[in-house]
Chains A and B, each alone.
Chain A
Amino acid sequence: MDIKVRVWRQAGPSAAGKMVTYDVKGISPDASFLEMIDVLNETLILNGDDPIAFDHDCREGICGMCSMVINGVAHGPEKATTTCQLHMRKFKDGDVIDVEPWRAAAFPVIKDLVVDRTPLDKIIQAGGYITAPTGTAPDAHATPVPKKDADAAFEAATCIGCGACVAACPNGSSMLFTAAKIAHLGLMPQGQPERDSRVIDMLQAQDDAGFGGCTNAGECTTVCPKGIPMSLIGRLNSDYRKAISKR
């Protein structure tokens, strides 16, 4: 198929950026979206142009590295699918496709489609863990965990930390990401001792890192490739109220 892509090109963090149009000819519908960009980049290099910088690694939808806003939607048109898992057969011959980076106050652009997402790690540092130094653990069967809780914790823990929720949010809030971690750890018995301090500290870190506030717009869950539900934000809020009331 023959398509055109309009790609955000920005040479560096402080450079001005703009959309640049490229023709991509004869691309197979079986190619992935990133493979289409690979093919384009090969041509750009041989023509002496600067190839498009973009983040990616596993190309299996699990590392959370890929991050493109495609036709205005974080990770593109296919539901519950990361950019790397999107294939060209979802587009039509002759399409013009816009490709932009994650845009959020907390995620400055580094180059082209590459942004800085380290603020998400800062939130985890503040409390997204269970304190269990190596070697101190009791036998794994010492505390049974109801299957229902373990399964729900797992669902929340499948968040890949991609930041699409932030990119989609009109406020640039990371609430869905934070809520997923709060739910994962708060559903496990091992996570109870730090439950109150965790939610308070992580929310503080989220503000400090420059993320916006949550107004329940719900855009986050629509683009989330792992289907993390809005209900977890409700859970976070209730945990927060309880924690604060104990202070």
Chain B
Amino acid sequence: MTASDFWAEGEPVVDKAAPDGPVETRWERRKFSAKLVNPANRRKLTVIVVGTGLAGGSAAATLAEAGYKVKSYCYQDSPRRAHSIAAQGGINAAKNYRNDGDSVYRLFYDTVKGGDFRARESNVYRLAQVSVNIIDQCVAQGVPFAREYGGLLDNRSFGGTQVSRTFYARGQTGQQLLLGAYQALERQIGLGNVEMNTRHEMLELIIVDGKARGIVVRDMITGEITTEFADAVVLASGGYGNVFFLSTNAKGCNVTATWRAHRKGALFANPCYTQIHPTCIPESGSHQSKLTLMSESLRNDGRVWVPKDAKDCQKPAGEIAEEDRDYYLERIYPSFGNLVPRDIASRAAKNVCDEGRGVGPGGLGVYLDFADAIKRLGRKAVEAKYGNLFEMYERITGEDPYETPMRIYPAVHYTMGGLWVDYDLQSTIPGLFVIGEANFSDHGANRLGASALMQGLADGYFVLPNTISNYLAAGPFPAVSAGDAPVVEARKQVEDRIAKFLSIDGDRTVDSFHRELGQIMWEYCGMERSEEGLTKAIGLIRALKEEFWTRVKVPGKGEELNQNLEKAGRVADFIELGELMCIDALHRRESCGGHFRAESQTPDGEALRHDDEFSYAAAWEYFGADGKPVLHKEDLNFEYVHPSTRSYK
């Protein structure tokens, strides 16, 4: 594959904001060198924050507390409903409350290694440092974390780490953390420091004199389009897992905010880095609209298997004799068994299903069997540990996992890629900052469990409020008005696109296109990728795009609540993103992190990374809907944690 077929290569991109010198003091030194804004001037500065999840909610509240004027936006009817609310497992922090050898350095080390050496050391170190403040902040807000009998905070070990550094609130950690940030935000709204705009969707970025100065939004109730101005714009719009149609994300999660910024010049980094979670409830039929995650902890006691012989797949599990079952994880990975990392467990499940040995509807599932655990520990003990998960499973599938083995299948769960940002979390467009899952910054090619919540809150409470001042110190910037040429143009782009969607009046629904895109992405740009498959996918997506713009049917008008019009805009952007993801995946001829490249494996079939060629972040520049994206590489240097190879055999 030569670059020239699908992409072009440009100049490297460099992070100019990161200080060098000892990693331990980089954040301290950056905070000291950053310009400050005099408290009296902050009132004159406005910041737009798109998104009210952990990242956006915490940032908006904190900026308002600091005295800035904040305008906040979300597509739901309340900021409390951002997708962060759904996170279950927990949040990491290097508190070392367990005295089990944890430290900032160890969390830093684990995160760089977990990201398979594709993240920036400076950012990851800062994340680990700030993690301890997050827990203090959340406790002060009244977040009801799990506690021990002595009244101190409880911790658990999560995702195979050797230390217990995960703080949690039963299975609802995201909900409790988000409510903390939401309440702080509501307090600022009540005080008049934040103007909250719910059911408002950002559809375009406004750039004036090279700086991000505002957004175009649509009021989702009336359909009114308005232009909103500020001295800086922060995108905290979450991840893009819904490009796969079926994912564990909420139905409204989308890429529009960041994709619109990308089209206006912001580089998009590592779009192909997605995380696929092995323990989700499988699809039950063509009506399936989303997938539900079940905690990974189930693999501690459940045994994964499929029938040895494809002919047995239609039989009830109980009728398949022990010797006819293939406990494939235990067979292939004798030392880790059912506890191999997420990507390995996911890929192995897809492989056995591709061989025709999958179980359940469509053959897209593998068993997770608790029969042995129930025999060994007793039903009571299993119930105490997993009762609520079993209940959730039964509610969705109608099957009782105490009696018949659960069926699980992998699903897209998280996207590590996102808009490229420097150490200050500023994108390549001055004045445009990107935080939370929407940026690419901290997890490299794979994210550790319980680290997304940590990153969202680190960015929103502690990092952005310190770095954005360096930019805002040069403001207030000259006033922008609705009549300025770039504003008029951005607004027209939005209006034209809406008019176009409504005028096509074709014969296919928006959802049908979304499903088809999802199938292409899952098949060719999911867990295992190959040059042949990706090339094919790019062709399929281009054809789908063409078909979308000639055959989609969007009912109703623009000037009303129109949920299909909202979806049409999101799906149009997902189609473009999908193509870039495939190009990014195609160019990265190595297996690394959460993804496996068929052409890059060891003789015994394990992932093979190529540090000599690919030790960089791939930041893509947009060159028109039919132009070739341009690749800008950011070289990654590892001064502290030296690249090594994983082995789970």
Residues of A within 8 A of B (CB): 11-12, 27-32, 34-36, 38-39, 42, 44-46, 48-51, 53, 55-60, 62-65, 81, 85, 87, 89, 110-111, 114, 116-118, 120-121, 124-126, 128-141, 143-147, 150-151, 153-154, 157-158, 160-161, 184-185, 187-188, 190-191
In contact, A138 and B136 (Cβ under 8 angstroms): yes
Cα distance A140–B396 in the bound complex, in angstroms:
37
Instruction: Report whether B153 and A134 are in contact in the complex, using a CB–CB cutoff of 8 Å.
Output: no
Contact of A45 among B461, B462, B553 (CB under 8 A): B553
Task: Kindly list the 6 A-B residue pairs having the minimum CB-CB distance in the complex, ordered from nearest.
Answer: A144-B151, A125-B190, A129-B183, A137-B140, A30-B284, A132-B140
- Contact in complex: A137, B133 (CB < 8 Å): yes
Q: Is A121 a contact of B144 with CB atoms below 8 Å?
A: no
B533 at interface by CB-CB < 8 Å: no
Which of B142, B151, B170, B397 neighbours the largest number of chain A CB atoms within 10 Å of its CB?
B142
B637 at the interface (CB under 8 A from A): no
Q: Considering residues A57, A60, A89, A130, which has the most beta carbons from chain B within 10 angstroms of its beta carbon? A: A57
**B184 at the binding interface (Cβ < 8 Å):** yes
Judge whether B83 and A58 touch: CB under 8 Å. Answer: yes
Within 8 A of A (CB), among B535-572: 553, 555-556, 560-561, 563-564
Contact of A62 among B62, B85, B95, B284 (CB under 8 A): B85
Any A CB within 8 A of the CB of B145: yes
Interface flags for B138-164 (1: CB within 8 Å of A; 0: not) read 111110111111111100000000000
Whether B176 sits at the interface, judged by CB under 8 Å, is yes
B39-70 interface (Cβ within 8 A of A): 58, 61-62, 65
Q: Provide the bound-state CA to CA distance between A119 and B152, in Å.
A: 36
How long is the Cα–Cα vector from A187 to B143 in the complex, in angstroms? 11
22 A–B contacts, CB within 8 A, in A order: A30-B361, A31-B285, A36-B287, A42-B509, A58-B83, A59-B250, A59-B292, A64-B80, A89-B398, A114-B561, A129-B187, A132-B140, A137-B133, A141-B152, A145-B147, A147-B148, A150-B144, A153-B142, A154-B144, A158-B172, A161-B80, A190-B140
Residue B231 interfacial (CB < 8 Å):
no
Q: Is the CB of A85 within 8 A of B396?
A: yes
Assuming the contacts A59-B251, A59-B290, A117-B78, asked whether A45 and B564 have C-beta atoms less than 8 A apart, the reply is yes
**B252 interface residue, CB < 8 Å from A?**
yes
- Most chain B CB within 10 A, of A120, A124, A140, A190, is at A140
The listed residue (B83, B133, B141, B189) touching A190 by CB distance below 8 A is B141
**Contact between A134 and B136, CB atoms less than 8 A apart:** no
Q: Which residue of B lies closest to A157 (CB)?
A: B144
With a cutoff of 8 Å between Cβ atoms, the chain A residues found around residue B564 in the complex are 45, 51
- In the complex, whether B470 has a CB less than 8 A from a CB of chain A is no
Q: How far is the CA of A135 from the CA of B61 in the complex (A)?
A: 12
Name the residue of chain B whose CB is nearest to the CB of A35. B287
Chain B residue with Cβ nearest A162: B81
Residues from chain A with Cβ under 8 Å of B252 in the complex: 57
Task: Fill in one digit per residue for B16-42: 1 if any A CB lies within 8 Å of its CB, else 0.
Answer: 000000000000000000000000000
Option from A58, A124, A157, A184 in Cβ contact (under 8 Å) with B186: A124
In the assembled complex, which residues on chain B have CB atoms less than 8 Å from the CB atom of A138? 136, 140
Report how far A61 CA is from B142 CA in the complex, Å. 23
> B85 near A63 (CB under 8 angstroms)?
yes
Is there contact, CB below 8 Å, between B58 and A134?
Answer: yes
Query: Within 8 Å CB of A27, what residues of B?
Result: 287
B56 to chain A, nearest CB (A): 14
B86 at the interface (CB under 8 A from A): yes
Please give, as numbers and ranges, the residues of chain B lying within 8 Å of A184 by CB-CB distance. 142, 144
Interface size on B, residues (CB 8 A): 79
Residues from chain B with a CB closer than 8 A to the CB of A28 are 284-285, 287
Residue B600 at the chain A interface, CB threshold 8 Å: no
Give the number of A-B contacts (CB < 8 Å): 219
* Chain B residues whose C-beta falls within 8 Å of the C-beta of A124 in the assembled complex: 182-183, 186
**A46 is contacted by which of B140, B141, B507 (Cβ under 8 Å)?**
B507
- A60 is contacted by which of B141, B145, B292, B507 (Cβ under 8 Å)? B292
Cβ–Cβ < 8 Å partners of B190 in chain A: 125-126
| B139 A125 Cβ-Cβ under 8 A | no
Specify the chain B residue showing the minimal Cβ separation from A128.
Answer: B183
Q: In the complex the two chains form, is B77's CB within 8 Å of A55's CB? A: yes
Q: Is the CB of A62 within 8 A of B137?
A: no
Q: How far is the CA of A51 from the CA of B142 in the complex (A)?
A: 42
Distance between Cα atoms of A145 and B154 in the complex (Å): 11
In the assembled complex, B406 has its CB within 8 A of some CB on chain A: no
Q: Which residues of B contact A121 (CB under 8 A)?
A: 78-80, 186, 189, 196, 198
Contact indicator B251/A51 (Cβ below 8 Å): no
Question: Among A85, A134, A150, which residue has its beta carbon within 8 angstroms of that of B147?
Answer: A150
B274 interface residue, CB < 8 Å from A?
Answer: no
Is A140 within 8 A of B176, CB to CB? no
A118 and B184 contacting across the interface, CB-CB below 8 Å:
no
Q: Are B176 and A154 in contact (CB under 8 A)?
A: yes
- Contact partners of B184 in chain A: CB under 8 A: 129, 132, 134
Are B86 and A132 interface neighbours, CB within 8 A?
no
| CB neighbours of A143 from chain B (8 A) | 139
Known: A137-B137, A144-B150. A117 touches B77 (CB 8 A): yes
Query: Across the interface, which residues of B come within 8 angstroms of A56, CB to CB?
Result: 251
A160: B residues at CB distance < 8 A: 85, 175
Q: Which residues of B55-111 have CB atoms within 8 Å of chain A's CB atoms? A: 58, 61-62, 65, 76-81, 83, 85-86, 95, 97
Q: Could you say which of A30, A39, A120, A191 has the most chain B C-beta atoms within 10 Å of its C-beta? A: A30
**Given the complex, which residues of B lie within 8 Å of A130, measured CB to CB?**
140-142, 183
Indicate which residue in B145, B148, B183, B285 contacts A30 across the interface (CB closer than 8 Å): B285
Q: How far apart sit A246 and B93, CA to CA, in the bound complex (Å)?
A: 41
Check: B288 CB closer than 8 A to any chain A CB.
Answer: yes
A55: chain B residues at CB < 8 Å are 77
Q: Does A161 lie within 8 Å of B183, measured CB to CB?
A: no
- What is the minimal beta-carbon distance from B32 to any residue of chain A, in angstroms? 16
CA distance A32 to B65 in the complex (A): 42
CA distance A136 to B62 in the complex (A): 11
Q: How far is the CB of B563 from chain A (nearest CB, A)?
A: 6
Q: A50-B556, A57-B252, A130-B183 are in contact. Are A153 and B144 (CB under 8 A)?
A: yes
With beta carbons under 8 angstroms apart, the residue of A32, A53, A125, A136 that contacts B563 is: A53
